[in-house]
A and B are shown apart, each in its own frame.
Chain A
Amino acid sequence: MTTQVSPKRSRLDPEPMPRRDWLGLGALWAMAVSFLFATVGMMRLPKAAVLPSPSKKFRVALPETLAAGEPFVPPGRSVALFRDEEGVYAISTVCTHLGCIVKPAADGFECPCHGSRFAPDGEVRKGPAPKPLAWLKVSVSGSLVTIDEGTTVPQGTKVA
């Protein structure tokens, strides 16, 4: 006896995948997807929307006696301010390597943590720092200088 291949399936034929299995699998997938979405949703919580750090902008008066090329570090800030004949400029003293505070030295800046050295204009001279020190936005009004630590400007930007 040969088997007839019938194009029409009877409802008595075994289903390719039993209905219960299909429903069960569907339920499992639904559970997996909802867990995934829940996890993604939960991951949003620890990503802070408001950063509770002190204001990036501050105002300071430069000392009258500040010589050209001599750094002035306002107390409690990680910025070095300079004044020369072209104007006032600010260089961040946060090392571009791993965030230590660099110290202004005779020939630029030096980092205590991993020995990076920077030229007076912030260029890397030595060590692991991947980028030059950032120049920060300054604006001058009378004797007061406003520095915005959150905004960087191209190297060499000096404000008269």
Chain B
Amino acid sequence: MPAIGTKDALTEFRENLRAAPKRILETAFRTGLPTTDRSRSTFVFGNVFLHLHSVRTHRWSLRWLTTAGLGIATLAAFLITLVTGVLLMFYYKPYPEVAYQSIKDIHFVVPTGRFIRNLHRWAANVMVVTVILHMARVFYTAAYRRPREYNWLIGIALLVVTLALSFTGYLLPWDQLAYWAITIGANIAQSPREVTDALGITEWFDPGGLQRLLLLGSDTVGEEALIRFYLLHVMLLPLVLAALLAVHFWRVRKDGGLARPDDADDILARERREETYPVFTEQPQKTYHLAAIVRGRTPAVGRGPENTVPSMPHLFYAEFGVLMLTVAVCLLLSLLWDAPLKELANPNVPENPAKAPWYFLGLQEMVSFSAFMGGIGVPTIVLIGLGLIPYLDREAEGTGRWFGGPGGWPLVRLSLLFGFAAALGVEAFAIRFGWLREWFPNIHQLAITVFNPGTVLTALYAAFSIWAMKRHNSTRAGALALFTCFLCGFTVLTVIGTYFRGPNWEFFWSPADWPGH
């Protein structure tokens, strides 16, 4: 017998059943619709995905000019490749010839297959572009400085993984372009032999051969290589990328949000057109240990942190905006241009010219002078140089400001001039007059490995940056010069490799001048 005043179990069961949908929602989103600043905060830190953000965002971070949304655009492009990549895996078969046929099926038979593949390819391209632009933004706003040095290193690792993902994806269609790009890539991995052979020690010490063997799983590009690249492309590298991304985002928050100049609040006050944004509209219920949230010397007592707005919704709207824009750009590109698919791979006839994807053509241009220096030596120097930037430039002037620091925009302009001139000059010289092998056919290979257009350009840039450092008596000025030169060199080599190299890697003003086959 139930006690008086209580419902019997059956009624309660019925009521619970009826209330279940509402309660499931309530338990999923504990706060309900966030209407106050406090519930907005709970909304963010109560959600495992959102809590990578801090609950409040400084208004400086929301200015369009601060980031141009490049980091989020990169993430958005990655998410697109993730979704479309999983879709492509429904049909793709990683076995030579079968792989080619399955890509053909995806292109011609599978419903929406062509579109999804286009989207995958374009998003991958967009990702490479935005990741480079994002790096440039962080560099030019001097946002890599203390306490964000380590996150810059993570970013460099992310750049490398992004390029590795693109490279491994390039082989999968198993067409002529893929096959020969990977043959070249695998032999670049083997190119330390250029040095060990010249020294005559390859028999005992052969790191190049080992790298190639590990990459290809065989001594030719075949089924073993394809399955390895597939594994790297769909499993290993995405996992590494996801782990690094998590650290990257987490550190953005833990390092105090985006870098901003000391007088950011003054600048915002001058720019501000409307009244103050709401600070805490009620006393915060949650108490923090002060030391945990305040980095500055004077804790804000009795008021909310100034010039911040709740991340929900202000930051999230901005992020969704960038996401939608990225999706729109990728959709448009996929509708306009199809991803290429050449004829089936033929191990006996190289594609002529055999070109890697555009972002590797700068490398390929350097490789056409020396395989080891162009493919491994100079890129390693560049990566080490980029990684060391925040540890060599420990100054404080100009943080958070575009082209901030001694030298500023005039120095960047001069560096642009020098960077383009040096790259074009060295290239023009090598194209017009050839290089050591043509002049002295019997010259020792090590001489070319050490002294070739790639290393000459690197040395010129290093010298220029030392000059800039001396002139402005500032490490930041040296960094500004070097990074700008690096961008110029990358651009010039990439453009020459893409548009001005034809059959036999000879220089042509236009593809219309290429000799017929």
Contact = CB atoms under 8 A, between A and B. Distances in A.
Interface of A: 46-48, 51-53, 76-78, 97-101, 110-115, 123-128, 130-131
Contacts of A98: 183-184, 187-188, 191, 367, 371
Contact of B350 (A51, A112, A131): A112
Contacts of A124: 437, 441
A77 B348 contact: yes
A125 to B, nearest CB: 7
Given A100-B184, A115-B505, A130 B194 contact: yes
Contact of A47 (B180, B191, B214): B214
B354 A128 contact: no
B57 interface: no
Given A100-B354, A128-B371, A115 B506 contact: yes
Given A46-B214, A51-B219, A52-B222, A115 B368 contact: yes
Given A112-B504, A130-B371, A99 B352 contact: no
A51 B348 CA distance: 19
Contact of B354 (A113, A127, A131): A113
A74 to B, nearest CB: 10
Nearest to B188: A98
B97 interface: no
Contacts of A114: 364, 367-368, 505
A58 B380 CA distance: 41
B504 A99 contact: no
B368 A52 contact: no
Interface in B399-453: 434, 437-438, 441, 445, 448-449
A13 B504 CA distance: 80
Interface in B343-367: 347-354, 364, 367
B99 to A, nearest CB: 16
9 contacts: A48-B218, A99-B187, A112-B351, A112-B505, A115-B504, A115-B505, A126-B437, A128-B369, A128-B371
A51 B218 CA distance: 5
Q: Which of A98, A112, A124, A127 has the most CB of B within 10 A?
A: A98
A114 B352 CA distance: 10
B437 A127 contact: yes
B370 A48 contact: no
Contact of A130 (B198, B353, B506): B198
B371 A112 contact: no
B437 A112 contact: no
Given A100-B183, A125-B441, A112 B352 contact: yes
Leading 9 A-B pairs by shortest Cβ distance: A112-B352, A98-B187, A114-B368, A99-B187, A115-B505, A100-B350, A130-B445, A114-B505, A98-B184
A110 B445 CA distance: 19
B223 to A, nearest CB: 7
B187 A131 contact: no
B367 A47 contact: no
A103 to B, nearest CB: 9
B206 interface: no
Interface in B444-466: 445, 448-449
A77 B349 CA distance: 10
Interface in B317-364: 347-354, 364
A46 to B, nearest CB: 6
Nearest to A98: B187
A52 B367 contact: no
A109 B506 CA distance: 15
A131 B198 CA distance: 9
A43 B371 CA distance: 26
Contacts of A52: 218, 222-224
A98 B347 CA distance: 14
A61 to B, nearest CB: 19
Contacts of B183: 98-100
A127 B198 CA distance: 17
Nearest to A110: B504
Contacts of A48: 213, 217-218, 224
Contacts of B348: 76-78, 101
B46 interface: no
Nearest to A50: B218
B503 interface: yes
Given A48-B217, A48-B218, A53-B219, A113 B371 contact: no
Given A51-B218, A110-B504, A113-B184, A131 B445 contact: yes
Interface in B185-237: 186-188, 191, 194, 197-198, 210, 213-214, 217-220, 222-224, 228
Given A48-B218, A100-B184, 8 more contacts: A51-B219, A53-B222, A99-B187, A100-B350, A101-B350, A110-B504, A115-B505, A127-B437
B124 to A, nearest CB: 24
Given A113-B353, A115-B505, A124-B437, A97 B371 contact: yes
A47 B224 CA distance: 11
B194 to A, nearest CB: 5
Contacts of A123: 441
Contacts of B504: 110-112, 115
B180 A100 contact: yes
Given A47-B213, A126-B438, A113 B180 contact: yes
A104 B320 CA distance: 57
A112 B183 CA distance: 13
A125 B437 CA distance: 7
Given A48-B213, A53-B218, A124-B441, A113 B197 contact: no
